[in-house]
Structure 1
């Protein structure tokens, strides 16, 4: 009998210990869940910004420093958090995976707020208005002034971009390339008839005084808004909105927009 009682006592103690361990695990899980994305970024001391090379949003100057309307804003936002902005070129089609895998902390690169983007990311308020425009050689631009005239063209589009979505939706013949800069190169070299790119990029990179003086934009296919994307549920989106409100209030976002020639696209507060 005594042996049975001792055995029962040991089993009871084992169950109590097991329950206590489960409670500790649950508490640890709760503590982990309560750590905010902002705290995570501040703890590691860097805000890793996912980009593609996209003038006038994110591009490298002659010294190799990342500059542009988005790059400058990202650096100022990082400074407001007490961390350093680090820029990382990504495959645009993998931007959500990069975010969720924490190889980057934010996508800040003239990103259109499509339904796919807003459902997969925690997004900021819109800050710039953009269009998807068709770019063709200036010598043939008069032939492509309507959507109907575009049907037989072969397009180059950035993979995973709003331009890619439009090409697919309209049933165009298109080839996906790494980024919008490559799409322009395809048109300039004659391997594509046209490209679909952001109007803000077109304004900075094609036409007189640019590297693509012989290219021009014709048809505007959509009107859209740019936003910044964080991990789903991230509290950094609210922090950025507060930061942007401050930039509107003191007028500095207008000044920055004028620096990069995007002031006409700036969303009014």
Structure 2
């Protein structure tokens, strides 16, 4: 009986240890890998190229930071609507793909310092007669569901005068519907639409007024201060040694990273 009791205690202790190990993922990347949740249709921050490889500013930025931290990265495409749930559940370690810092999100995640300025703008077709926000009255406007574009529009008085707000799972679908006339305009990140305007010259134009300025940050799970501090240290080093500037020059043609 004593021997049996001893075996039960050993097995119980082993199971407890395994449970503890599985629950520790992501504190500072003990498995030497950080899983980063992204929207893989968010050019130029993170998207798939013609070879179906995930590329972009945030992708290069994350890889460089991981190298500074002595870890590797895995980019996990996620449903952007569930990004905070993916983080809190431990399925991803970071939200890093044009993730706007807001007071509401600060209640759910930890943020690094802002690293890039952005704005929510309204795009329409170049041939459209829409020129300012007031022109959206009575129109159909598209945007990405549960995005900062939705937040910006909800906070603006023009929202009450818009006929219909159509939500899409990503910006690519929203812009596709704009081009075929299913929506009259799209609320979108400035850095994103400028990328598409450069690729499709003469297709789009921006309204003269933006909806809201904003800043991008990297989201870390609440309580994981150790990972936040290690990541921020790497980002600060990248600012100091010119790594961040080189990545910005590659994707934007100028140094846009906040110091």
TM-score class, shorter-chain normalisation, is 0.7 to 0.9
Which residue, 29, 35, 38 being the options, matches 1:48?
Answer: 35
1:60-99 alignment runs, 5 A limit: 60-99=48-87
SS at match of 2:65: helix
**Once the two structures are superposed, what CA deviation does each residue of 1:27-48 show, in whole Å capped at 9, x if it has no partner?**
97xx77x958344x232x3211
TM-score by length of 2: 0.83
Residue 42 of structure 1 contacts residue 83 of structure 1 at CA under 8 Å; is this kept in 2?
Answer: no
**Residue 130 of structure 1: how far off its partner (Å):** 0.2
SS at match of 1:103: coil
SS at match of 1:48: strand
Between the aligned partners of 1:129 and 1:104, the Cα distance in structure 2 is 25
- Counterpart in 2 of 1:251? 242
SS at match of 2:187: strand
Work out whether 1:216 is the aligned partner of 2:205: yes
- Counterpart in 1 of 2:189? 198
The 1:55–1:262 alpha-carbon spacing in structure 2 relative to 1, beyond 3 Å, is: farther
* The structure with more helix, counted as a fraction of residues: 1
The 1:91–1:126 alpha-carbon spacing in structure 2 relative to 1, beyond 3 Å, is: same
Between the aligned partners of 1:36 and 1:50, the Cα distance in structure 2 is 15
**Residue 262 of structure 1: how far off its partner (Å):** 6.3
Structure 2: segments with no counterpart, 5+ residues = 1-12
SS at match of 2:97: strand
Residue 50 of structure 1 contacts residue 87 of structure 1 at CA under 8 Å; is this kept in 2?
Answer: yes
**Residue 120 of structure 1: how far off its partner (Å):** 0.6
SS at match of 2:211: strand
SS at match of 1:238: helix
Residue 25 of structure 2 contacts residue 90 of structure 2 at CA under 8 Å; is this kept in 1?
Answer: no
**Residue 155 of structure 1: how far off its partner (Å):** 1.0
**Residue 112 of structure 1: how far off its partner (Å):** 0.7
Measured on the aligned residues, the alpha-carbon RMSD in Å equals 2.8
Between the aligned partners of 2:253 and 2:100, the Cα distance in structure 1 is 15
**Once the two structures are superposed, what CA deviation does each residue of 1:65-108 show, in whole Å capped at 9, x if it has no partner?**
22211001111222333332111211111101111112211111
**Residue 156 of structure 1: how far off its partner (Å):** 0.9
More relative contact order, 1 or 2 (CA 8 Å, 6+ apart): 2
Work out whether 1:144 is the aligned partner of 2:131: yes
- Counterpart in 1 of 2:229? 238
